[in-house]
Chains A and B, each alone.
Chain A
Amino acid sequence: MANFMSRNDLLLLLGFTVVVLTMPIWLTPFGAGYPDLLQRFMIFGIFAVGFNILFGLTGYLSFGHAAFFGVGSYAAVWSFKLLTLDAIPAMIFAVLISGLFALIIGFLSLRRSGIYFSILTLAFAQMSYNLAYSVLTPITNGETGLQLTLNDPRVLDAAIGQTFVGQPVPTLLGQQLGGYAGFYFCAGFLILSFFFAQRVAGSPFGMMLKSIKSNQTRMQFTGFNTRPYALSAFVISGMYAGLAGALLAVTDPLAGAERMQWTASGEVVLMTILGGVGTLVGPVIGAWIIKYFENILSALNDNILTQFWSFLPEGLAEIVVKVTSKFVGDGWHLTLGLVFVIIVIFLPGGIMEGVRRMAATARRSDPPGAKSHQHQPAE
């Protein structure tokens, strides 16, 4: 059992757990310590971890992962409507459906690799989006979004005579999942997902995926059939996306078609690249940064800016407010774009590469007299 997990992996998992569970404390000074955003941090963290299994480990860039996310949400909401308000059946249901969905799309898309694979997944995702948006409106309620209502059937709840007060909201064994309860529920799943991703990356199966990334043709020549491995990776990451989608529906029981749009698929690619492709922590950090920008920067308005810059002299403050206001509020995409460009140009490996470089610099400057060369050590 000694090689159950390496010491580094265990430390990483523990550190990650501590950081995640203390988020309500250390994010409060940044204006992000409120349950809804924390839940989103967890949910999109799971989404990005799952996406990284496919993109980071296997090297297949999927541009259609939002489809599985959306399918998970719709499946969960339908489970709330038809079966029970309990979260567990909804999540099992969502993960299974999105896994099945990923199996079909993956089976078709994985006949090609590289850019053709990306385009195929994009096409399937766009088809799913359009189905959800206009064709399947009886199931998805289109742009309006699928919501819970008082007169849903909820057969299981009805059978055991369980009722609720006020508006129907998802529960966990009768416990409501709003606010911080919802956050810890999602945090538990993020940590589990992270642990599972660690195990996958460290397993022989993970080794197989990594070798598909490094040279698929060589793998095939040595006699491996790579497709089952790639397909499993695709399905696993689709199920991760479904889990994330289901959690989003658990914490906020509404499923809208927008979460399946190609921009949502692109967002998870951005998260992964921003944080660091192929690293375990990177995609989660990327997800947090993007969600932070989306929710906090977009909420800043001229009033807040004026207060923030009020220490500057009158005329100057006005100019600064004018300039900065272009980068916040509805201009938050501009800031995100700038950050993304800077990271991709200077840190092609994402934020995690920055962390590694800093660690390397610190280590190199440790021994006295060691000349600090700017060259990367040739490894």
Chain B
Amino acid sequence: MTILKSGMSRRRLLQTGMAGIIGSGVAPMMFTKGAWAQEFCNNPTGDTVTLGLNLPLTGAYAEEGADEQKAYELAIAHLNGEGDGGLLNVLTPSALTGNGILGKKVGYVTSDSQTKSDVARAGATRMIERDGAIMITGGSSSGEAVAVQGLCQEMGVIFMAGLTHSNDTTGKDKRRYGFRHFFNAYQSGTALGPVLSNAYGNDRRAYHLTADYTWGWTQEESIKNTTEALGWDTVEAVRTPLGAGDFSQFLTPVLNSGADVLILNHYGNDMVNSLTQAVQFGMRDRQANGKDFQIVVPLFSELMAKGAGENIKGIFGTSNWHWNLQDPGSIAFTKSFGAAYGSPPSQAAHTCYVQTLLYADAVERAGTFYPPEVIKALEGHEFDGMGNGRTLYRAEDHQCMKSVLVVQGNDAPTSEYDVLNVVEEVDAATVDYDPSIFGGELGPAEPAPVCA
């Protein structure tokens, strides 16, 4: 054995080193073991309960994210008995007391998902592991929703999806721990079909521009199926990257394609940009195949309509909800949101607010935060008063079955918020579909031992 200059043999050094490694490696385990010793992930033991809000505060859907945050803050205030109570007063049946959830005060943590799936997942993990979030909610993109939903299934934490419209969220990628209140692309197609047929006839040639991720893909497919059933031709469907900013390279080919309808499967800032550019290209003043050229935006929101300004006049689309509806739920929500923030809420804000209340209500009815029991309370639950009429949380795929709005850009807006007209309220029975058509598997309700 050779002796090192320091006088310590190599073997001795390695021995000491290994002891150190093992010692320091084991020590933190002892400290942390206690933190995870609980019957399920993030069981709230104190007098508060933490919700994790995963919001796109930057990126193409940032504006939706900002509105969602307002809605969550409002919902949490109402759950804690602050403010005017909002929809707590109109939800039927309701187990909510206005005294937090199961008597625990509701708190929240936030994370900026940057409209990216990877980041959304990292943010959700942080809120679950570090901040002890009992439920994750939010998101403005189906890519995020699908990614976070998978994570929540692994961790055994319930995910109440925010704005996500892809068929996959409650279809091919559905999870036992994921729930969606928002409607989906398939329902948009069913609702939009008759209106398009009435307005534009049955002999049209459509050109799709599609945001290149799960939502765009499924919306393109659903709208294509609907319009082709009407007798329309699909000239071409072109995929565009999410958050592209400039769509002129995708719009130029439309002009010479022989199409007379442009279908924009874009959302948020992307839709504002693509629609504005399409109008600048003179598409709405064009004639093609002897007909007026038309633009359709299958998923529409007030925030987008506001962003696109003049350009949306007369354009058809669908919405989950609109602040101008005249049922007690919509009136109550618009009133308390307006009182708090000075503007009417968007559909993104509405769905997030409702999801928070529905989760709280389910916990109250289950009498525990234990996720399998909460899941049971949500599955097949029927409720009313949230602004969409009678609604069923379908047990087979965790999709809310409710009415869908067909909307049109307002030709003569009376205020900067009065940008959409509700053309038709398509009832829940019409937009119903068989959950098995999209495949997928919910998976088990028993939490995986990851968090344990």
Residues of chain A having any CB pair with chain B under 8 Å: 1-2, 4, 7, 10, 14, 17-18, 21-22, 24-25, 31, 33-37, 40, 133-134, 137, 142-145, 147-151, 165-167, 169, 176, 178-180, 184, 252, 254, 256, 258-259, 295, 298-299, 301, 329-330
CB-defined contacts of A150 to chain B, threshold 8 Å: 441, 443
- Report whether A256 and B117 are in contact in the complex, using a CB–CB cutoff of 8 Å: yes
Known: A134-B239, A137-B212, A167-B175. 14 other contacts (CB 8 A): A1-B10, A2-B2, A17-B20, A18-B24, A36-B129, A143-B213, A143-B241, A144-B117, A145-B147, A149-B441, A165-B446, A299-B109, A299-B112, A330-B112
- Which residue on A lies nearest to B213, using beta carbons? A143
The smallest C-beta distance from B311 to any residue of chain A, in angstroms, reads: 26
Residue interface bits B57-94, CB-to-A below 8 A is 1, else 0 = 11000000000000000000000000000000000000
Check A40–B213 contact: CB distance below 8 A. Answer: no
Complex alpha-carbon distance, A34 and B156, angstroms: 17
A residues near B10, Cβ cutoff 8 Å: 1-2, 4
Interface code B114-153, partner A: CB below 8 Å = 1, 0 otherwise? 0011110111011001100000000000110011001101
Knowing A134-B239, A166-B447, say if A254 contacts B122 (CB, 8 Å).
no
Contact A144 B112 (CB under 8 A): no
With A167-B150, A254-B147, A330-B58 as given contacts, are A17 and B126 in contact (CB-CB < 8 Å)?
A: no
A179 to B450, Cβ gap below 8 A? yes
Interfacial chain B residues near A10, Cβ < 8 Å: 13
Q: Does B242 contact A (CB under 8 A)?
A: yes
Q: What chain A residues lie within 8 Å of B32 (beta carbons)?
A: 24, 180
Instruction: Write the nearest CB–CB distance from A316 to chain B, whole angstroms.
Output: 25
Do A133 and B13 touch across chains, with their CB atoms under 8 A apart? no
The number of chain B residues touching the other chain, given as a range, is: 35 or more
Chain B residue, CB-CB nearest to A165? B448
Cross-chain contact B443 with A166 (CB below 8 angstroms): yes
> A330 to B126, alpha carbons, bound, how many Å?
16
Chain A residues with Cβ below 8 Å from B5 are: 7
Residues A145 and B29 in contact in the complex (CB < 8 Å), given A34-B126, A301-B110: no
- Whether B111 contacts A298 by the Cβ 8 Å rule is yes
* B117-A145 in contact (CB<8A): yes
Q: Can you give 12 contacting A-B residue pairs, CB < 8 Å?
A: A7-B5, A14-B17, A17-B20, A22-B24, A36-B129, A142-B212, A143-B241, A144-B213, A145-B143, A166-B154, A180-B29, A252-B151
In the complex, what distance in Å separates the CA atom of A10 from the CA atom of B10? 10
Which chain A residue lies CB-closest to B440?
Answer: A149
Complex: chain B residue closest to A300, CB-CB: B110
The total number of A-B Cβ pairs within 8 Å is: 155
CB of A21 within 8 A of CB of B110, answer no
On chain B, the residues within 8 Å of A149 by CB distance are 173, 441
Shortest C-beta distance, A22 to chain B (Å), equals 5
Binding site for A on B (CB under 8 A): 2-6, 10, 13, 17, 20-21, 24-25, 27-29, 31-32, 36, 57-58, 109-112, 116-119, 121-123, 125-126, 129-130, 142-143, 146-147, 150-151, 153-156, 168, 173, 175, 212-214, 239, 241-242, 441, 443-444, 446-451
Query: How distant is A80 from chain B, measured CB to nearest CB, in Å?
Result: 13
For the complex formed, measure the closest distance between the CB of B215 and the CB atoms of chain A, giving whole angstroms.
9
Cα separation A210 to B20 with both chains bound (whole Å): 33
Residues of A within 8 A of B142 (CB): 144
Least CB separation from B132: chain A residue: A34
CA–CA, A79 and B390, complex, Å: 46
Cβ-defined contact, A176 with B450, below 8 A: yes
Q: How far is the CA of A179 from the CA of B110 in the complex (A)?
A: 21
Contact residues in A for B25 (Cβ distance below 8 Å): 21, 184
Chain B contacts of A14 at CB under 8 A? 17, 20
> What residues of chain B lie closer than 8 Å to A33, measured between beta carbons?
130
| Interface SS majority for chain A | helix
The CA-CA distance from A21 to B26 in the complex, in Å, is: 9
List the 4 closest pairs (A to B, CB-CB), nearest first: A166-B448, A143-B213, A34-B130, A36-B125
Distance (whole angstroms) from the CB of B109 to the closest CB of chain A = 7
Q: Which residue of A lies closest to B211 (CB)?
A: A143
Is B28 in contact with A34, judged by CB distance below 8 angstroms?
Answer: no
Please pick, from B28, B117, B129, B212, the residue contacting A258 in the complex, using a CB distance under 8 A: B117
The answer, among A37, A143, A166, for a CB contact under 8 Å with B444, is A166
> Contact at B126–A178, with CB atoms within 8 Å?
no
Question: What A residues does B6 contact at CB under 8 A?
Answer: 7
Taking a contact as CB atoms under 8 Å apart, the answer to whether B118 and A254 are in contact is yes
CB-defined contacts of B123 to chain A, threshold 8 Å: 299
Is B212 touching A252 in the complex (CB atoms < 8 A)?
no
Pairwise interchain contact B4-A2, C-beta atoms closer than 8 A: yes
Q: Looking across the interface, which residue of chain B has its beta carbon closest to that of A2?
A: B2
- Min distance, Cβ B235 to any Cβ of chain A, angstroms: 20
Q: How far is the CB of A152 from chain B (nearest CB, A)?
A: 12
Q: How far is the CB of A194 from chain B (nearest CB, A)?
A: 13
Q: Which residues of B contact A184 (CB under 8 A)?
A: 25
Q: Are A134 and B212 in contact (CB under 8 A)?
A: yes
Residues in B whose Cβ lies below 8 Å from that of A148: 150
A14 to B6, CA, bound (A): 16
Q: Decide yes or no: A1 and B116 within 8 Å by CB, A144-B214, A178-B154 being known contacts.
A: no
Q: With the chains together, A165 CA to B262 CA distance in Å?
A: 47
Which chain A positions have C-beta within 8 A of B154? 166-167, 169, 178
